[in-house]
């Protein structure tokens, strides 16, 4: 192995394919929690309109109307 390759991580190694890292990642956990809220918002708004509003519309609507307060309440609970 050349000197250059010794410092390059092996992307096929267990360290990079181990999905448990994502499960332990705080950032990933926050992403999943936010996604759950968006999906909940999508369901509620779709029920109100009597049709599926789609993920993208729900995402944009949730960001405009709820994201700031949701994040504030999460930060209060975490911090």
Domain ranges of the chain: 53-79
Concatenating the DSSP letter of every residue in 8-63 gives S--TTSHHHH-THHHHH-HHHHHHHHHHHHHHHHHHHHHHHHTS---HHHHHHHHH
Residues 5, 16: Cα–Cα separation, whole Å: 16
Under DSSP, is residue 68 helix (H, G, I), strand (E, B) or coil? helix
pLDDT, tens digit (0-9, with 9 covering 90-100), for 16-43: 556 777 678 888 899 999 999 999 999 9
Q: Residue 11: pLDDT above 70? A: no
What pLDDT, on a 0 to 100 scale, did the predictor assign at position 21?
73
> Among 10-14, 33-37, 47-51, 55-59, where is mean pLDDT lowest?
10-14
Tell me the C-alpha distance between 9 and 18, whole Å: 14
- In this prediction, residues 5-9 reach a mean pLDDT of 57
- Mean pLDDT value across the chain: 83
């Amino acid at each position: 192995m050349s000197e250059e390759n010794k410092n390059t991580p092996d992307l096929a190694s267990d360290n990079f394919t181990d999905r448990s890292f994502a499960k332990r990642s705080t950032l990933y956990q926050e992403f999943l929690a936010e996604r759950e809220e968006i999906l909940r918002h999508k369901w509620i708004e779709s029920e109100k309109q009597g049709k599926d509003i789609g993920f993208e519309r729900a995402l944009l609507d949730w960001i405009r109307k709820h994201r700031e307060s949701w994040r504030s309440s999460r930060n209060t609970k975490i911090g």
